[in-house]
Structure 1
Amino acid sequence: MRNILLVILFGFFSCIISAQVNFRANLSKSSLGINERVRVDFIIDKDGDNFTPPEFENFRIVAGPSQSIKNSWINGKRSYSKTYTYFLSPIKKGNFKIGQASIQVGDEIYKTMALNLVVTSAVDKPLNPNDPSYVADKNIHLVAEVSKTNPYLNEPISIVYKLYVSPDTGVNNWRELDAPRYADFWSKNINIKNLTVENGTYKGEPYRYVILRKTVLYPQKIGELSIEPLVLDITVQTPSNRRDFFGQIINNTVNKTVSAGKIKVQVKPLPEMGRPNNFSGAVGKFDLFVTSSKKELLLSEAFQLDLEIKGNGNFNLFAFPSINLPQSLEVYEPERSEKLTTNFKGIRGSIKDQYTIVPSSAGKYSIPRISFNYFDPNDSKYKTQTSIQNYINVKGAITNNSRIENNAEDRASNKVDLMQYGNLSFKTKTKFKKINQQIFFYSKIFWVILLLPFTILFIILIIQRILNNKKNDKNWIRANIAKKLGKKYLSDAKKNIDNKTKFYEALDKAMMNYLKSILLFDNSEYNAKKVRESLLNKSVSLKTINLLEDIFNNCQMARYTPFDTVDMDNDYRRALELITLINNEIK
């Protein structure tokens, strides 16, 4: 009896031990240099859900998470494990901890133990010409080109970020890890519509390069200023010494982190010698224009005075000049309009203030000259723009001083009335109306307005009936759903044009759903021969069908052939052209 109890207890505890979940974390190394990477594996021997990784503070995730499952049977015993893998790159030196990861198995939450990791100074890596990481380091370079490193305060400088790639190396994708920070600068990014690969040289060697970013900066502080670097994580394809069955070179894929490097800019102060007393901080090259909408007007009219500054410089970073007119000219708040564009040399365009002016008495008025000072960094000296003197002749009865005093209250009330309308333009013409106007009732307009709602309601009812009939048509419903999915996947392809795998998956689904919408077939009925016959029966030309097959072939070959961004742009454009051609040809 005692032996039977021992056997039962042993079996019970064995079942409990075998039912326990083993969830652990492993590091590929416990110490690494700041220029190295470490692999972290989170392994569980049961199937779980809702995996949550740690924060990975002081590290960048350069790859992952990738998931692998191992399931095997040995001597009738099942072995199972699931692994979540990350590749990390340290940000700084020190002793750090990889925190706990968690996962849910059934109704229980399991966590790993925290791991210690030491990050030391950069270590020397062995120079192995066949190592993909070594080849990538030698053939990929991120460079920041600065137009000027010793500008004046508020003088524009430009930074161009270029990615140089050697001819025998390819780039599949990249993502931004750190964006450049422009502390103590006014910055404006220049939009780059398409990334174009160009030929050039790097340190005397032939390279290809692409411009990733252009930025215009205006320094707002004197002294030495720092610009934090742009940091990218790049997926690089490097050639190996191996060849496939067809004799083609097999490429190795490796991830590489590149930095443009920290940039130092020494900003010079504007010179004190020759600085005008009314200098407002304008730096660049400008022209001043003062124009009047009228030279002569009646006492009851108003005119506009335009003050405009054109040129190239630090617009919006200096005080705009103002006008000083006689008291008998009532001046209202100006309307400002801007026409500015940002290019490689800075901000170019114009800013205009338009003043509405109302004379309160007749006479000939002088518009004083207006001066505008700016600093020209090309000539390293201050310059002044002065407008010409304008004259305005106001015609009407000239009032004496006593009459002006007696009518002071009337003018004040008129001013209040004008202020209520702000800067609305003054009416100078009278619109007359006919005395014997046609009565509205029983006119043509009356009958149109009366019958129009009933006509619109009748049209809506007809459209609604047509749509209801179509909704009961299974083929129409299926074609409509497929058409919507085609548009959705085509939009997804455009959004992921920098990601080869996602782009071609979305493009393949888009074209498939488009064909389903016009040919009305199910996925189970699809084959290339049937699609070709169906399109021929609908009078689609062979040239168009061959173009369709080329696009499907590119989608299928995308996993095995290294396409670049230019090829994806071309395939997307051809897909749009193909849809247009089929719509025009199909009957």
Structure 2
Amino acid sequence: MNGRYYILSVLILWANLLLAQSASFTASVSSTQVAAGEQFQVDFTLNGNGERFQPPNFNGFQVLSGPNVSQSMTSINGNTSVSMGYSFILAAVKEGDYTIGPATIYVNGHILGTRPLKIHVVKGSPQQARRMRQQQQAIDQVPAADLSKAVFLRASVSKTKAYIGEQLNVTYRLYTRVGILQNQYDKLPELNGFWSQDLNEHKQPTAAVWRTEILNGTRYNVADIKETIVFPERSGDLTIDPFAMTLVVRVPAPAHDIMEEFFGNSFKDEKVKLKSPPIIVHVKDLPAAGKPVDFSGAVGTFTLSADLDKKALKANESLNYNVKITGVGNIMLVKNPTVGFPPDFEKYDPKVTDTLSKEGGKIHGSKLYNYLLIPRHEGNYTIDPIKFTYFNPATERYVTLTSKAFPVAVAKGDRQTNVSALATDKQDVKLLDKDIRYIKTSDFGLTEQGENFFGSVGYYLLLLLGPVLFVAAFYYRKWLQRHNSDIVKVKSRKASKIARKHLANAQAQLATKNKSGFYEALFKGIYGYLSDKLNIPYANLDKETIAEALRKRSVNETLITRLQDNLDLCDMARFAPVTGISEQEVFEKTKNTINDIEDEL
């Protein structure tokens, strides 16, 4: 066996020297010494573009995951370099010395190969051995005809019966027993009838945290692709929409010739479309029994606190009254509390500060209401307690929280004798109204006797203005209906406006240095624009379809090529890190490309 690897290594090295290829194909391992039952990672890296990657035969090891494909691009001073990576998660079966043979890949029509890797496996713990025996029971060789059982999506919800406003967790999981090469999302769930908040970004399978799980006696590699927190907004049977995606997976295939047998097991790539089954959630109305009149829809568990920055001050001085609601639940939907202030206090609308967190798989946080108050007269006042009611779904009861009352002593102010200076207060306006009215000092509105508006030219013009506006409105409505009757044209007209919204979101993500969010917004903006502009369903968009549609509309070929480069860059940047490229430059190129297409169309 070692002689075979030696001969193969010499042949590959000799071929590479003769071809003098600039690309290099290397292999690395996370550890050259592992324990039986221990997991480790093997990486194959190519600094260029290649095709027909052929992994080695991992004799003596169990493949838990892979090949997991990654790609990166770097541009320095206009020189762009591309690298590709293929990683495998392996587990050692039993102790001994093993050799992982060369992996091969085609580059410019020639074969490049890696050097063999030597792994020393030592004796593992009993727990590792037990786990290894369980993993060996899984069926690794999956025929293409059984792909529906080897890779699929599932959705799970924390509860299928809930109250309006109750917090639920929805998780979309990918189960697989085959290697994943490529993936794309076809349809994201709309979640109609729910207020939703993503717990994390949509994870690509190559970047997700994988674990093993036994389902119906079969072991799968499992990753959580999307996690969302939802709050039902109405009662009845609500549907958790399916999550759809397309994968390209690698499955074993029989060898066709002696070369395939020489290089190891052969594989073939299969395209498979996945969709998670919908889930019905039965949503109940909040109970009417015991519901207080001041209940505003808060569901969860909350606390209430209030404080005053000063309890003694002079008239016309300001004080701050703070109310804070903290808890777990639909905190973002909590309405402003009703506060009773003395009538002599001038009150301004509160400044609201929201603090939200998604740690622990739940929405929790606080709302801080800061009221600015100005007492206008001296005296002793009391700020009444605040009541806040929420519904606790765990106990199925309403809970009313009450803050404490605050006495306020107001002394005589420096400006209290200046009554006109206090005219902004409601109570002061009432006093002024009883005392003396304001005297007009201008002659605005005075006319000489005999100059009546009735019968003048302006009078008749205003009389005709009504019928003229009615006729204009009638014909405008007819034009608007005819103008909007063609849905395709309406979507085409609004395509650039929608694209500008996505570009604005991308610029906001760029300002926060969120690169993944930036490229995601660019990708949605340009694909959404092309879908509406070219009247092509979003799920059917690909580079060839877009190019063909643009050529039919006589769009310049150079512009089509520039568009395809932008699509490649955005698509790749969503799944792998891109370095050496200015995101601002990418943003400007994308915006200019959309503008140029809009001009030509």
TM-score, L = length of structure 1:
0.46
TM-score, L = length of structure 2:
0.45
